[in-house]
């Protein structure tokens, strides 16, 4: 199968070593509601939880796991500081990829991996007193695709999303887990067509849509950079913005990266010279979600030109936190 050979080729790359480590560990949550595909759900709950905390759903890449994304990003470390909860879903597919292609997962309450994540969010709102107005999704590669899916199919649950190296909602739709046409950037639609596709995720829904932030490296060939422009078409149409940015900020948040702001509910960050292994900018994401103030991250990451084994570091707390690159779709 093409996806399997592709995943064999794209091994996980280490892109940075983080100086902080989460104080706690993941807790598996079971019996949280409808879970037709047997998605694993893991919760990070800091020692001190804010009253009516925010919730971030942090979604791993192909070949990844909930534990890898917990260890490889700073969301849990920052939860220790800000008191929010993090759900790390674990894909049931043997290759670690998310179902972002079936009609079930693309449609509100119809099944697929997305329904399991929605069930976990509803469970957290009821049982952990999560603020329903502060539920967010973020992910990398396949996890970024799922972030887009959740924004389209569950706009009633999610208030914002941040997608690193993904594709537009519905771009992978079809019979197979891997969609070559989308991955290679050959699917192009008008803004209206893309917007209609996103709106089709929840038929009859007329409420507010989660604000969206998309990120992609200009050298991405795993999920071709052409998808970045298609994502801009989609979300500008959803929010009624023009595809010409209202403002552009150079070197934001890192040197060579360009932040295009289309309106208060959508921005797109293009990372010049970066391939599919785009470094996650957790501090920027928290600012986008409104958990923190400001919009500039202090994360400093390096991207190797070739794939390599992940590097770990142990801090004085005894926990390990590693920043992994993502691979596959």
Chain-centroid distance of CA 171 in Å reads 15
295 CB-side CA count, 13 A: 11
Is the CB of residue 42 less than 8 Å from the CB of residue 87? yes
What is the set of active-site residues?
Answer: 141
- Rounded Cα distance between 5 and 186, Å, is 21
DSSP letter, residue 327: B
Cα angle, residue 236 at apex, residues 234 and 239 outer, rounded to 5°: 110
Q: Give per-residue burial for 24-51: e unless 16+ CB within 10 Å, then b.
A: eebeebeebeebebebbbbbbbbeeebe
- Rounded Cα distance between 57 and 327, Å, is 19
- Rounded Cα distance between 307 and 14, Å, is 7
Q: How many helices (H) and strands (E) does the chain have?
A: 10, 12
């Amino acid at each position: 199968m093409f996806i399997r050979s592709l995943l064999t080729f794209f091994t996980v790359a280490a892109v940075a070593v983080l100086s902080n480590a989460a104080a706690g560990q993941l807790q598996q949550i079971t019996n949280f509601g409808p879970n037709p595909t047997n998605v694993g759900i893991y919760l990070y709950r800091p020692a001190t939880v804010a009253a009516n905390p925010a919730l971030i759903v942090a979604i791993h890449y192909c070949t990844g796991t909930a534990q890898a994304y917990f260890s490889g990003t700073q969301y849990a470390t920052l939860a220790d500081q800000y008191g929010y909860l993090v759900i790390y879903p674990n894909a049931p597919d043997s290759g670690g990829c998310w179902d972002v292609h079936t009609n079930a997962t693309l449609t509100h309450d119809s099944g697929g991996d997305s329904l399991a994540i929605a069930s976990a969010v509803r469970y957290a709102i009821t049982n952990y007193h999560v603020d329903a107005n502060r539920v967010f999704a973020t992910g990398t590669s396949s996890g970024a695709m799922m972030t887009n899916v959740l924004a389209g199919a569950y706009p009633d649950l999610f208030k914002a999303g941040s997608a690193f190296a993904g594709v537009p909602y519905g771009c992978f739709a079809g019979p197979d887990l891997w969609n070559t046409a989308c991955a290679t950037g050959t699917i192009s639609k008008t803004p209206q067509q893309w917007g209609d596709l996103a709106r089709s995720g929840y038929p009859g829904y007329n409420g507010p849509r989660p604000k969206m932030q998309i990120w992609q490296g200009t050298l991405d060939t795993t999920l071709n950079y052409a998808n970045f422009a298609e994502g801009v078409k989609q979300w500008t149409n959803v929010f009624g913005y023009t595809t010409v940015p209202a403002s552009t900020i150079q070197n934001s948040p890192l040197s060579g990266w360009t932040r295009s702001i289309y309106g208060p509910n959508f921005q797109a960050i293009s990372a010049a010279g970066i391939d599919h292994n785009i470094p996650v900018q957790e501090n920027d994401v928290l600012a986008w979600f409104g958990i923190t103030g400001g919009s500039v991250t202090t994360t400093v990451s390096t991207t190797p030109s070739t794939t390599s084994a992940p590097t770990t570091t142990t801090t004085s707390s005894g926990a390990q936190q590693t920043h992994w690159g993502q691979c596959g779709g």
